[in-house]
């Protein structure tokens, strides 16, 4: 049974879809609110403070992409996009705006429930051994505050970007395949495109690397996957603070 403390906002201009999702997830023990457009969604969001927004791409007064980007710039709320578009470029565009997952209409309520459950599993409470900051030279990752700083300057990451960076940095030097990262970071129930890993790695690199075209921190191991490489200055100065 889902936790009653999890709050979900459904944003869709189609009342049939909106009400169907609302009723189904209410039966799964989630707290629910709904909105039919971007203006209403913003107002409800401020009052309701949801953990997850299920967001239609096509809204009468804005796009789901724009609203997703706006919400992710201010909070670490999870976003699940709904769309009738199955094109890969549309999916990638959604992920680039900060979406955590993407489901194409028509979809089954069973699939929706699985995806929602998987999203919330990613935000499980931290174990004591996961709570200390990771410090690599000028890069500081604070899992309790969910903050990343470089040279004392905050780096804005989406919730999923933070989870992925923190996981890689918690295992420096180890190479992870995409499937392994999906299982560990996305949760084992994720059934989307594994190339979503590449999209989010690219976004993180653009935010934390000096040159994202020649990354030093998150490196690609050709034919295998990705690894986090400890900066050489950190190793020399012994400043890495890890559990």
| CATH code assigned at 229 | 1.10.10.10
Position 234 confidence tier, pLDDT thresholds 50, 70, 90: low
Q: Are residues 102 and 137 in the same domain?
A: no
| pLDDT average, residue stretch 225-240 | 67
Q: Are residues 79 and 148 in the same domain?
A: no
pLDDT at 124: 58
Q: Are residues 155 and 77 in the same domain?
A: no
pLDDT at position 152 over 50 = yes
Average pLDDT score over the chain: 85
Q: Are residues 47 and 134 in the same domain?
A: no
pLDDT at 204: 95
Is 73 a domain residue? yes
The one-character DSSP state at 37 is S
pLDDT at 191: 58
Among 95, 122, 149, where does a domain finish? 122
* Phi and psi angles of residue 36, each rounded to the nearest 5 degrees, phi first: -105, -5
pLDDT at position 35 over 80 = yes
* CATH number of the structural domain spanning residue 110: 3.40.50.2300
Distance (Å, rounded) from C-alpha 11 to C-alpha 123?
Answer: 22
pLDDT in tens, 75-86: 778 899 998 876
Task: Let me know if 102 is exposed, middle or buried by CB neighbors in 10 A (0-12, 13-18, 19+).
Answer: buried
**By percentage, how much of the chain surpasses pLDDT 90?**
52
Look up the domain containing 47 and give its range. 7-122
pLDDT at 57: 92
pLDDT at position 62 over 90 = yes
Q: Are residues 98 and 12 in the same domain?
A: yes
Q: Are residues 111 and 170 in the same domain?
A: no
pLDDT at position 156 over 50 = yes
What number of H helices and E strands is found in the chain?
9, 12
The pair of three-digit structure tokens given for residue 205, joined into one six-digit string: 């690199």
Give this prediction's pTM.
0.64
pLDDT in tens, 91-132: 777 877 878 888 888 899 999 998 898 888 766 555 555 678
CA 8 to chain centre: 15
pLDDT at position 242 over 60 = no
Q: Are residues 19 and 110 in the same domain?
A: yes
The total number of structural domains in the chain stands at 2
The pair of three-digit structure tokens given for residue 15, joined into one six-digit string: 């009342």
pLDDT at position 237 over 90 = no
Q: Are 54 and 46 in contact (CB under 8 A)?
A: no
Is 233 a domain residue? yes
Is 1 a domain residue? no
Cis peptide before 213 (omega within 30 of 0): no
- Residues contacting residue 39 through CB under 8 Å, at least 6 positions apart: 61
Position 184 confidence tier, pLDDT thresholds 50, 70, 90: confident
pLDDT at 135: 92
pLDDT at position 61 over 90 = yes
Give the number of other CB atoms < 10 A from CB of residue 211.
8
Among 88, 122, 156, where does a domain finish? 122
- Residues contacting residue 45 through CB under 8 Å, at least 6 positions apart: 9, 53, 71, 77
Q: Are residues 14 and 108 in the same domain?
A: yes
Among 122, 154, 183, where does a domain finish? 122
* More confident call, 90 vs 141: 141
């Amino acid at each position: 049974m889902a936790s009653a403390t999890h709050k979900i906002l459904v944003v869709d201009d189609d009342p049939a879809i909106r009400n169907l999702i609302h009723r189904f997830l209410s039966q799964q023990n989630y707290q629910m609110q709904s909105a039919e457009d971007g203006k209403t969604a913003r107002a409800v969001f401020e009052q309701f403070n949801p953990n997850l927004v299920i967001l239609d791409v096509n809204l009468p007064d804005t796009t789901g992409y724009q609203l997703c980007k706006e919400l992710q710039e201010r909070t670490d709320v999870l976003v699940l996009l709904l769309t009738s578009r199955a094109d890969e470029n549309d999916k990638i565009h959604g992920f680039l705006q900060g979406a955590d997952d993407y489901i194409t209409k028509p979809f089954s309520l069973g699939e929706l429930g699985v995806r929602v459950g998987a999203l919330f599993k990613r935000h499980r409470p931290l174990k004591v051994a996961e709570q200390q900051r990771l410090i690599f030279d000028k890069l500081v990752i604070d899992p309790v505050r969910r903050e990343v700083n470089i040279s004392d300057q905050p780096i804005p990451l989406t919730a999923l970007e933070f989870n992925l960076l923190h996981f890689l940095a918690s295992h420096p030097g180890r190479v992870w395949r995409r499937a392994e990262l999906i299982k560990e970071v996305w949760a084992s129930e994720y059934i989307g495109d594994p190339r979503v890993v590449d999209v989010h790695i690219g976004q993180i690199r653009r935010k934390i690397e000096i040159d994202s075209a020649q990354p030093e921190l998150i490196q690609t191991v050709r034919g295998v996957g990705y690894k986090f490489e400890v900066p050489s200055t950190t190793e020399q100065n012994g400043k890495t603070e890890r559990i």
